[in-house]
Structure 1
Amino acid sequence: MHFAMPPRKTSRPPPYAARQSRGFGIPPALRNILRDRSRGLVVLILGFFTLFWLLGGMSGGERSAVKNTIVGSGAPVVIVTTIDPTADLRWVERIKKNREDYAKKHGYATFFPSTADYPLKKSPPSWAKVPALRHAMTLNPTSQFFWYLDSTALIANPSISLQSHILDKSRLEKLMIVNEPVVPPDSVIKTFGNLKGDRIDVIVSQDKEGLCVNSLFVKQGEWAKYFLDAWFDPIYRSYNFQKAEAHALEHIVQWHGTILAKLALVPQDLFNSYVTGPASPKNGQYKDGDLIASFPGCDKEKRDCAEEMEPTLAKLEGKDKD
């Protein structure tokens, strides 16, 4: 069966069609007026968008001035500690001074936001550390490293420089624990080997139960912002993990190779020694000379951080006066 082909449209329409399509019966004088007004309207629209583009370019220049700042030209490390607004004020001031004295000695900066500053909704206050780090990055765009240190920990050896102790890339490569289960003792997901120190953006330690989130380092950059945003995802906060953000971190590290590939696991006593708590049996118990004396969990289970930390804090304050 053959189907009739539709008639082919000519590329040369009859003269009357062309005339009708141009004028639509409108008198020439009126067409000229409309044409002039249309040109004026086009000029007006173009002028508006030009002005908008210029203003946008100016504000974009301001944004790029921040974006293009040289990372590393500011304080090399920002120490971030979130504060419970209901905590004893005298104890809080001593915790802040512990960080401020150390930061002043080494040229670092400090940041002490309240846990109430962030929209946690029904999530535990411990989640505040994640947006606090993100906040600190925004406030300090030229700083390179951000050290989150829980209020349940004390800087016990202020003579230690973080660069030579941990952060220098060649030093970090020597410290990294490779082929280690992410969650002890027998997680099938293990830390990568052959990672380069300058490719690491997150530095953590591990106690005998899992990854530690009471003391960790994050390196400034777009990847770190992605990492913190992923960690703070509402889905993870709604899971009701037993250990809140700690278990959420273990989850994303084990399930997202792109995050594990940027993570360095180092010995616990480098920056997270436990005075009390589930310390790593290998290297987690506090000893004289360690950088950090940590009391994990002292803010929970009807314990009193101020009371537990008092002997160590008083000893450290006494050394400062000597």
Structure 2
Amino acid sequence: MHFALPPRKTSQPPPYLPRASRPPGLRRTRFKLIALAGLALFALIFLVKLSTSGRNAAPTSRAPRGNPPVVLVTVLDEARYSKTYLETVNENRIKYAEKHGYKTLFARVGDYELNGSPGSWTTVVAARDALTKYPDCRYVWYLDASSFVMNPALKVEEHVMQPSRLDELMKKDLPVVPPDSIIKTFSHLKGQDVDLVLTQDKEALSAGSFIVRNGEWARFFLETWFAPIYRSYNFEKVEAHALEHIVQWHPTILSRMAVIDQRIINAYNKGVRGEEYKDGDFVVRFPDCAAAGVQACEIESQSFVQAWRRAFASS
């Protein structure tokens, strides 16, 4: 059986050539193949189930009632951000959530057992934890700590996730990984069938801001993303490249995913790598500040912090 590797060279695990003198390596390779086969079988069963039941069929589990409508999830990494900055992030999320009757979930690196995987995988586990803690929520919105909600008037369920709105926002027949991925977003996807919404910048898909609709598919997606086989790969950007891999090679995931304009949920403070924030946009994100030092995000975000506080005070 042959399994395709990710099309991005930087995302590929190093090639492995089994040799008779290294039986432990051979066993590891066989384990990976078995794990991949299991994932493929799981995806096939899920697709068959969807095709035979449809959205109007009787659900296998109780549909979430939308209480709360949204859980806003953020991972706080004290090794990458200053204490003052993280307090500001906490304030921003709580004020926005309280305004619309949402809930927040703040996770810290180290809160979950990652079995030796890098701490950035906390992103996926925290989103999964939100579904467990709030089983009646409608949506989970993950927004990383290098970001602020800037427009408190906008609601996730109206500004992004309403089916008619998604019909307008979705970028169809678009290379999933810019600029030239041969895998493209579905051209026939409808807003009512979307369960995952994210953006891409000039270089890659972005895992810094994404929304999942609560349900069986969301759990399948997050479990697949966090699968040991992908955490064992030597991806350059860890969970971000793992995400690119699964959306390109698993039609079960691509068939429920919408890529939308960056400025809807993920505008950058500078336009070098992506679309630049404009007054009135929902979110501003500082994609490079965390890598520049513990104090960098606090310094870089000062003018935006003042702006969102004014916006919240007048709303």
Per the normalisation by structure 1, the TM-score is: 0.75
Paired position in structure 1 for 2:306: 314
CA distance in 2, matches of 1:134, 1:68: 17
**1:171 positional shift:** 0.8
Between Structure 1 and Structure 2, which shows a larger proportion of strand residues? 2
Paired position in structure 2 for 1:288: 279
Paired position in structure 1 for 2:197: 203
SS in 1 for 2:291: coil
In structure 2, relative to structure 1, the CA distance for the partners of 1:319 and 1:73 (3 Å cut) is closer
Code of the aligned partner of 1:291: F
CA distance in 2, matches of 1:252, 1:207: 18
Paired position in structure 1 for 2:14: none
Paired position in structure 2 for 1:74: 67
CA distance in 1, matches of 2:112, 2:157: 30
In structure 2, relative to structure 1, the CA distance for the partners of 1:195 and 1:319 (3 Å cut) is closer
Mapping of 1:229-244 within 5 angstroms?
Answer: 229-244=223-238
**1:225 positional shift:** 0.7
Paired position in structure 2 for 1:100: 94
Mapping of 1:165-180 within 5 angstroms?
Answer: 165-180=159-174
Paired position in structure 2 for 1:54: none
Q: Is this contact kept in 2: 1:69–1:142, CA < 8 A?
A: no
**1:223 positional shift:** 1.3
CA distance in 2, matches of 1:101, 1:311: 18
Residue ranges of structure 2 left out of the alignment (5+ in a row): 1-59
Q: Is this contact kept in 2: 1:202–1:263, CA < 8 A?
A: yes
Question: How many percent of aligned residue pairs carry the same amino acid?
Answer: 44
**1:235 positional shift:** 1.8
SS in 1 for 2:178: coil
Code of the aligned partner of 1:97: E
The question of 1:152 aligning with 2:146 is answered yes
Residue ranges of structure 1 left out of the alignment (5+ in a row): 1-66
The question of 1:136 aligning with 2:127 is answered no
Mapping of 1:1-322 within 5 angstroms?
Answer: 70-86=63-79, 87-276=81-270, 278-280=272-274, 284-302=275-293, 304-321=296-313
CA distance in 2, matches of 1:68, 1:122: 33
Q: Taking CA–CA contacts closer than 8 Å with sequence separation of 6 or more, which of the two structures ends up with the larger relative contact order?
A: 2
CA distance in 2, matches of 1:105, 1:139: 21
Cα RMSD for the two superposed structures: 1.7
CA distance in 2, matches of 1:319, 1:164: 19
CA distance in 2, matches of 1:251, 1:207: 17
Q: Is this contact kept in 1: 2:193–2:256, CA < 8 A?
A: yes
Q: Is this contact kept in 1: 2:177–2:244, CA < 8 A?
A: yes
CA distance in 2, matches of 1:308, 1:99: 19
**1:95 positional shift:** 0.5
In structure 2, relative to structure 1, the CA distance for the partners of 1:225 and 1:153 (3 Å cut) is same
In structure 2, relative to structure 1, the CA distance for the partners of 1:84 and 1:195 (3 Å cut) is same
**1:185 positional shift:** 1.0
SS in 2 for 1:167: coil
Higher alpha-carbon Rg: 1
Q: Is this contact kept in 2: 1:166–1:172, CA < 8 A?
A: yes
CA offsets 1:244-294 (integer angstroms, 9 cap, x no match): 1111111011111111001011111100000036533xxx21111110110
Q: Report the number of matched residues.
A: 253
Tell which deviates more after alignment, 177-186 or 157-166: 157-166
